[in-house]
């Protein structure tokens, strides 16, 4: 049995993200077989018992996840080419009045807030921002199979064969794509359900079958729907909601 980094093992077990694990280890909040481990980079055997102190659980409970209806013109992550990050929209003024989470907005909720997945500058809809590494892993981790659903307005002609290829049969960057579910929502709009999120994937898939995307909106991540959240507004993920 090969030793593994403690932070990696904690992430594998779903206790937290690797970054969070390093924070907890440095704070002396992690025990392995009853012993506090506070040295970063420590290795353990996979069968050793890991426990998080109550303080770590308290810190996790205070981390928030935010659902934003991203408008056009904002980037998902760091500022680029003069465009503002979507996280700059997380202000008291933009808080959705219909938020039923019961959470009071605090400026501390914007610290360490990272996008779990991306939406292009010219795409709109549901963007998840979270302080919780467990949530990010659930949505964009290497083993994630969480569905993402999109409404996609297109121009051009799509044959039956093209529609079949959108569902199963396309490759990007030399890799076969996972099967998708794609069907006509109305005359000029397709509905896509994907289990992966390569860069500009839907736009590139459409190009391969002779279509041009003229509008793209994400309406669902896992079991969380965009619903009636207005563009540019956000709300907290409620305690009874799960991706």
Could you identify the residue written with the tokens 């090969």? 2
224-243: b (≥16 Cβ within 10 Å) or e = bebeebeebbbbbbeeeeeb
The CA radius of gyration of the chain, in Å to the nearest whole number, is: 20
8 Å CB contact between 229 and 67: yes
Q: Under a CB-based contact definition with an 8 Å cutoff, are residues 120 and 201 in contact? A: no
Tell me which of 33, 99, 120, 228 is the catalytic residue: 120
Contacts of 151 (CB under 8 A, 6+ apart): 185, 189, 190, 191, 215, 216, 217, 219
99 is an active site residue: no
Catalytic residues: 120
């Amino acid at each position: 049995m090969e030793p593994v980094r403690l932070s990696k093992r904690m992430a594998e077990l779903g206790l937290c993200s690797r970054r969070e694990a390093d924070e907890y280890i440095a704070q002396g909040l992690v025990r392995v077989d009853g012993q506090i481990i506070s040295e970063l980079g420590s290795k353990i055997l996979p069968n050793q018992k890991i426990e998080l102190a109550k303080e770590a659980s308290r810190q996790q409970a205070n981390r928030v996840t935010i659902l934003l209806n991203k408008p056009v013109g904002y980037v998902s992550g760091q500022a680029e080419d003069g465009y503002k990050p979507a996280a700059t929209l997380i202000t008291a003024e933009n808080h959705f009045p219909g938020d039923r989470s019961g959470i009071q907005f605090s400026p501390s909720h914007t610290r360490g807030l990272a996008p779990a997945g991306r939406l292009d500058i010219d795409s709109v809809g549901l963007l998840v921002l979270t302080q919780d590494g467990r949530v990010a892993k659930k949505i964009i981790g290497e083993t994630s199979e969480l569905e993402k659903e999109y409404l996609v307005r297109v121009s051009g002609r799509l044959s039956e064969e093209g529609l079949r290829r959108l569902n199963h049969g396309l490759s990007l960057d030399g890799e076969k794509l996972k099967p998708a579910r794609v069907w006509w929502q109305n005359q000029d709009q397709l509905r896509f359900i994907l289990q992966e999120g390569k860069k500009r994937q839907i736009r590139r898939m459409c190009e391969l079958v002779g279509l041009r995307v003229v509008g793209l909106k994400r309406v669902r991540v896992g079991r969380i729907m965009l619903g009636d959240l207005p563009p540019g507004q956000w709300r907290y993920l409620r305690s009874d909601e799960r991706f």
